[in-house]
A and B are shown apart, each in its own frame.
Chain A
Amino acid sequence: MIWGALVGGLAGTLVLTTLLRAASEFGLTRMDLPFLLGTALTGDRVRAKAVGYALHFGFGLLFALAYYAIFVVIDESGFLLGAFFGLVHGLFAGSAVVNILLPVVHPRMGTGFTAAGSAPLLEPPGFLLLNYGRRTPLATIIAHIAYGAIVGGFVSLAS
């Protein structure tokens, strides 16, 4: 069952990444998760993207394991339940993780209280990542619902 979560996490992150990239190409959002994550570790743009993708997939697996733990606790799993988890995950990511926590830990992330200092700053994401485009929350939540559904589906299949 845990392998189902890991495979689901991998496939789900793949789909999530593709959906967000597509949203970016269609002009729905300027959010670039690998870029945001990678620039926490390096100022080199190319390296940041590579590191960011690695971190992104790492987090995708970790979140899948968290989903798995909840599935075990409630003794239930499945496509729809996973999609619901994805919805909550997406809302939480947009409202707290990226908006509040990421600027705290990200050395290059600006906040509403930051003025230009000694390091270049990344544009802060704002509530529900709205700074990166008004349709960013929609794209993010749909991508996370897809992620959750895939993880839930794989866990269900493996159990």
Chain B
Amino acid sequence: MALVARDGSIDWLCLPDLDSASVFGALIDSERGGRFVLEPELPFQASRRYLPGTNVLETTFSTSAGRVRLTDAMTLPAGELSPYRELVRRVEGLAGMVPLHWRVEPRFGYGTGKTRIERRAGAPVALGGRDALALCSWEAGEPTHDAQAITGRFSVGQGGSSLLALSGAHQEPLVLPTRADAEVRLHATVRSWREWAQAREYSGPWREAVIRSALVLKLLVYAPSGAIAAAPTTSLPEEIGGERNWDYRFSWPRDAAFTLQALLALGCAPEARAFFSWILHASRLTHPRLQVLYRLDGRAEADEQSLPLAGYRGSRPVRVGNGAADQMQLDVYGELLQAASHFASSTGGLDRDHGRRLAEIADFVCASWEQPDAGIWEARGEPAHFIQSKMMCGVALARACELAERGFLPSKHNEQWLGERERIREFVETRGYSESKQSYVRSAGEEEIDASLLLAVLAGYDEPRTPRLLATIDAIRRELGRGPLIHRYFGADGLDGEDGAFLACSFWLAEAYARQGRLDEAATLMEELVLLANDVGLFAEEIDPATGEFLGNFPQGLSHLALINAAVAIEEAQQ
């Protein structure tokens, strides 16, 4: 996945995979990171859109000399021998004659590796260890290069067209494409995305936002395994200049329930099946314990380290890897069993081996729920008895019982699961509810409110309209809300600084309203939230309520998952 700035510069691209080191990393270090600039030489205004129903971006530059259209795509394989990875940039003249220039500054290994630039078969190539890039261009000026960059200048008149193709190789020789093949792949890529988007089964409100979100999720799928990355970036800060900078290029089992729910609602059964199977496959090595996150290829290591980079607008450290992997987070078991329930309902059953392993996980929950944990927000302070974690343990056991009753899980421990579920409920109801706040609370014995408690409604901890859940939803809006936006919490979490409002929580609130039958509130909130997307319909992890600025990694899968599920819930409730 490549991130294109509003001025047409590609400031983020990891090759060969989404979780590989960046070759264009200007996003996290504008000096050392590298980028692919392509822009008019005259002052310009730019407007952008995705080609409808695709992940192909179109940027239109307007200058005093005329207008040009830039089309950017990571192409899908088609036609003759395809490059291992290919980024195609096509420039078309719309009016007048516009002079443009381009500059490719590849910086392998997040800008910390060595990069050499040479020529092969007439094409400039950049070399960095096991990776290489070739820049093939047609009617885009004569490429020249020095030790740092490959550059070119050209002009495009009305009706004219130029093409640049960046071919990437990993542990193999480069493939230097022809213009015809690159054009074929560009067209095939547009067609393929459109066909996929048209096949999505959703005709409810906010369809455009829902389909855009589905397209984002599809981009986050690591095709070889079926894993879905949380986001394609690392260390975009939750607070500008702060230390809350994390690597999200991993897959979180926690997102399983949201993911399955969204994928199944949109008719993405193959993707749902692949993701569910991947989770159960990836977690084999740590079974019955679920690690908080796994690498996209299923490996469990996620060692965290800091890179010597400047960071996004000075936000350091820049981290790769994620230290949260080793945390104890009890809520993930509820999410997994909830996902299994969605999956079984949709497909009519569960694989026998999967059923056996899920039963063992339920046993593990029985043995573990009384321990303190790091909670859903991966707090880096001391472990605590987070109420949402306990609620999700209760959900895990409730789903295990239901699945066992339907014959999908071995039922020999059913009684134990029921008994422990009751003990969890007793704990939550006696130590997790504040009469003075009229709300469930963040952790046992505290008075703080936490937006993760919205999941009690979404995951079915209890009936949605119990007095306590109705009051909790109101308390969350009252205490954590800033306009349509919801903060996760305001208490200490073991880190300096504060983060912004969490978009997923804001969409969860809309879904919670819908599930409680508060449709007007749900629809009104949803209308406001959808308008907060950027110019091409994407959401980050968080928003600064004061400035409207995006914070955190981008685009964020969880935000888009929450959008889809909220829209679907509102549509279902309306029906």
Residue B347 interfacial (CB < 8 Å): no
Q: Which residues from 118 to 177 on chain B have a C-beta closer than 8 Å to any C-beta of chain A?
A: 120-123, 125, 127, 129-132, 134, 136, 138, 169-177
Residue A58 interfacial (CB < 8 Å): no
Number of interface residues of A (CB under 8 A): 33
Q: Is the CB of B178 within 8 A of A119?
A: yes
By a CB distance below 8 angstroms, the chain A residues around B132 are 30, 123
Q: Is the CB of B81 within 8 A of A110?
A: no
Contact residue among A32, A48, A133 (Cβ-Cβ distance under 8 Å from B129): A133
* Bound Cα distance from A118 to B184, whole angstroms: 13
Residue A95 interfacial (CB < 8 Å): no
Residue B80 interfacial (CB < 8 Å): yes
Residue A71 interfacial (CB < 8 Å): no
* Bound Cα distance from A125 to B120, whole angstroms: 9
Q: Which residues from 85 to 126 on chain A have a C-beta closer than 8 Å to any C-beta of chain B?
A: 108, 110-112, 114-125
Q: A24-B130, A30-B130, A30-B171 are in contact. Are A110 and B80 (CB under 8 A)?
A: no
Stretch at the interface among A35-43, A73-81, A144-152: A35-43
Residue A31 interfacial (CB < 8 Å): yes
Q: Which of A48, A115, A116, A125 has the most CB of B within 10 A?
A: A116
Minimal beta-carbon separation of A32 from chain B (angstroms): 4
Residue B77 interfacial (CB < 8 Å): yes
* Bound Cα distance from A27 to B109, whole angstroms: 12
Q: Is the CB of B130 within 8 A of A122?
A: no
* Bound Cα distance from A29 to B397, whole angstroms: 51
* Bound Cα distance from A68 to B555, whole angstroms: 61
By a CB distance below 8 angstroms, the chain B residues around A132 are 173
Residue of A nearest to B125 (CB): A123
Query: Chain A 3-22 against B: per-residue CB contact (8 Å), 1 yes, 0 no?
Result: 00000000000000000000
Q: Is the CB of A43 within 8 A of B81?
A: yes
Q: Is the CB of B80 within 8 A of A121?
A: no
Residue of B nearest to A110 (CB): B121
By a CB distance below 8 angstroms, the chain A residues around B130 are 24, 27, 29-30, 133
* Bound Cα distance from A45 to B79, whole angstroms: 11
Q: Is the CB of B129 within 8 A of A116?
A: no
Residue B443 interfacial (CB < 8 Å): no
Q: Which residues from 177 to 200 on chain B have a C-beta closer than 8 Å to any C-beta of chain A?
A: 177-181
By a CB distance below 8 angstroms, the chain B residues around A120 are 80-83, 175-178, 181
Q: A39-B81, A43-B80, A114-B122 are in contact. Are A31 and B173 (CB under 8 A)?
A: yes
Residue of B nearest to A115 (CB): B122
Minimal beta-carbon separation of B355 from chain A (angstroms): 34
Interface residues on chain B, size class: 20 to 34
By a CB distance below 8 angstroms, the chain B residues around A112 are 121
By a CB distance below 8 angstroms, the chain B residues around A119 are 80-81, 178
Minimal beta-carbon separation of A127 from chain B (angstroms): 13
Q: Is the CB of B77 within 8 A of A116?
A: no
By a CB distance below 8 angstroms, the chain B residues around A124 are 120-121
Q: Is the CB of A45 within 8 A of B173?
A: no
Q: Is the CB of A30 within 8 A of B178?
A: no
Q: Is the CB of A32 within 8 A of B171?
A: yes
* Bound Cα distance from A32 to B176, whole angstroms: 16
Q: Which of A30, A45, A110, A114 has the most CB of B within 10 A?
A: A30
Q: Is the CB of B122 within 8 A of A27?
A: no
* Bound Cα distance from A139 to B172, whole angstroms: 14
By a CB distance below 8 angstroms, the chain A residues around B176 are 110, 116, 120-123
* Bound Cα distance from A32 to B175, whole angstroms: 13
Q: Which residues from 81 to 138 on chain B have a C-beta closer than 8 Å to any C-beta of chain A?
A: 81-83, 120-123, 125, 127, 129-132, 134, 136, 138
Residue of A nearest to B127 (CB): A133
By a CB distance below 8 angstroms, the chain A residues around B77 are 45
Contact residue among A24, A48, A118 (Cβ-Cβ distance under 8 Å from B178): A118
By a CB distance below 8 angstroms, the chain A residues around B177 are 116, 120
Q: Is the CB of A116 within 8 A of B174?
A: no
By a CB distance below 8 angstroms, the chain A residues around B179 are 116
Minimal beta-carbon separation of A115 from chain B (angstroms): 4
* Bound Cα distance from A15 to B121, whole angstroms: 32
By a CB distance below 8 angstroms, the chain A residues around B170 are 30
Q: A27-B129, A116-B178 are in contact. Are A123 and B81 (CB under 8 A)?
A: no
By a CB distance below 8 angstroms, the chain B residues around A27 are 129-130
By a CB distance below 8 angstroms, the chain A residues around B120 are 110, 123-124, 131
* Bound Cα distance from A124 to B122, whole angstroms: 11
Minimal beta-carbon separation of A89 from chain B (angstroms): 21
A sample of 16 inter-chain contacts (CB < 8 A) reads A27-B130, A45-B77, A45-B81, A110-B120, A110-B122, A116-B136, A116-B138, A120-B80, A120-B82, A120-B175, A120-B178, A122-B174, A122-B175, A123-B175, A131-B120, A131-B173
New contact pairs (15) apart from A116-B121, A122-B174, A123-B174, CB-CB < 8 Å: A24-B172, A45-B81, A110-B120, A115-B121, A116-B136, A116-B138, A116-B178, A119-B81, A119-B178, A120-B175, A122-B81, A122-B173, A122-B176, A124-B120, A133-B129
Ordered nearest first, which 6 A-B pairs have the shortest CB separation?
A110-B121, A123-B174, A43-B81, A32-B172, A27-B130, A123-B173
